């Protein structure tokens, strides 16, 4: 973008030293660096120096060098944001699958202290992450919730809409859709039957929902209130890294207890 330098920066009466000071100030602005102690030093030096060209060149070089890291970070951020807007499902899916796998491995190795990774359990988490947490929740949060809550937003405002979305997500979606789907995908990957799914769901429901609400209720308030739509799945994936770790540890504990009760190895 074009940077405009105020004409007031230049003196109305021609004064060589003042003109050099204004030129240095303009060069720094054009180089993209906000005034700092260094830039003020250059400006002061320009007003006193007999070699104005050298000082201006030094100022521009220093300003460009200082601005370069910021420009690179800004460019990377804009590139990621642009890709997320153009390909929200792919972007969310990549983050979600990697997050889900890493969180489960971390839970197994660092928290449960397993010597060998249970790859079948990890495959269940990855499959659930791809099919439901990325594809399913993209449609849920960005399409369905938006459509259902649009009349509330028009009539009662944004605050009521956020409260309604959090209620739908935490009181209906997670207890009665999320967990059944999770157990079903886990059963399909591990070769279990529907009786196993129902038993897991009913036995673990209370503890799972309690842990769920402790993490997700405050996070979803932030998600629906301030996070842009194309960043909602990545935001959910970031918070879900913590939640997946908790869920993985709970599943390991539940499964170990179940095997002990059934006398399985």
Say if residues 92 and 235 touch (Cβ distance below 8 Å): no
Q: Which residues contact 63 (CB under 8 A, 6 or more apart)?
A: 27, 28, 31, 32, 33, 39
* DSSP string of 19-36, one letter each residue: HHHHHHHHHHHHTT----
* DSSP string of 33-93, one letter each residue: ----HHHHHHHHHHHH-S-HHHHHHHHHHHHHHHHHHHHHHHHHHHHHHHHHHH-HHHHHH
Rounded-to-integer distance, Cα 178 and Cα 180, Å:
6
Q: Helix, strand, coil: what percent of the chain each, to 5? A: 85, 0, 15
Q: What is the pLDDT of residue 66?
A: 53
Rounded-to-integer distance, Cα 1 and Cα 255, Å:
58
Q: 124 — phi, psi (to 5°)? A: -65, -45
CB atoms within 10 A of CB 37: 6
CA torsion 178→180→186→189, rounded to 10°? -110
Gyration radius of the chain over CA positions: 28
Residue with structure tokens 């899916």?
Answer: 93
Burial of 181 (0-12, 13-18, 19+ CB in 10 A): middle
Q: What is the pLDDT of residue 79?
A: 81
The rounded average pLDDT for each run of 10 residues, N- to C-terminus, in the chain (265 residues) is: 43 49 47 46 50 52 57 80 77 80 87 86 85 78 85 86 90 92 87 90 91 90 83 76 85 81 65
Rounded-to-integer distance, Cα 24 and Cα 33, Å:
12
Q: What is the pLDDT of residue 11?
A: 43
Q: What is the pLDDT of residue 58?
A: 57
- CA nearest neighbour of 183 among 118, 134, 255: 255
Rounded-to-integer distance, Cα 247 and Cα 148, Å:
29
Say if residues 243 and 212 touch (Cβ distance below 8 Å): yes
| pTM greater than 0.75 (yes/no) | no
Q: What is the pLDDT of residue 32?
A: 44
Residue with structure tokens 């889900």?
Answer: 100
The pair of structure tokens assigned to 144 is: 């369905």
Q: What is the pLDDT of residue 27?
A: 45
């Amino acid at each position: 973008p074009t940077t405009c330098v105020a004409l007031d920066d230049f003196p109305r009466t021609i004064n060589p030293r003042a003109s050099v000071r204004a030129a240095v100030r303009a060069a720094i602005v054009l180089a993209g660096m906000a005034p700092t102690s260094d830039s003020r030093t250059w400006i002061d030096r320009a007003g006193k120096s007999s070699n104005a060209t050298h000082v201006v060149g030094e100022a521009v070089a220093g300003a460009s060098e200082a601005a370069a890291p910021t420009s690179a970070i800004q460019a990377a951020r804009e590139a990621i944001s642009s890709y997320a807007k153009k390909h929200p499902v792919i972007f969310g899916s990549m983050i979600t699958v990697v997050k889900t796998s890493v969180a489960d491995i971390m839970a197994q190795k660092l928290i449960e202290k397993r010597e060998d990774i249970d790859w079948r359990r990890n495959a269940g988490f990855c499959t659930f992450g791809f099919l439901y947490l990325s594809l399913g929740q993209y449609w849920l949060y960005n399409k369905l919730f938006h459509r259902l809550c649009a009349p509330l937003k028009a009539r009662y405002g944004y605050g009521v809409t956020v409260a309604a979305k959090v209620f739908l997500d935490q009181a209906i979606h997670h207890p009665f859709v999320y967990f059944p789907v999770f157990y079903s995908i886990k059963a399909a990957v591990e070769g279990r039957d529907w009786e196993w799914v129902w038993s897991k769901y009913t036995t673990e429901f209370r503890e799972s929902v309690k842990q769920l609400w402790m993490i997700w209720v405050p996070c979803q308030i932030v998600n629906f209130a301030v996070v842009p739509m194309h960043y909602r799945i990545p935001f959910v994936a970031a918070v879900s890294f913590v939640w997946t770790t908790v869920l993985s540890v709970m599943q390991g504990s539940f499964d170990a207890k179940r095997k002990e009760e059934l006398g399985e190895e």
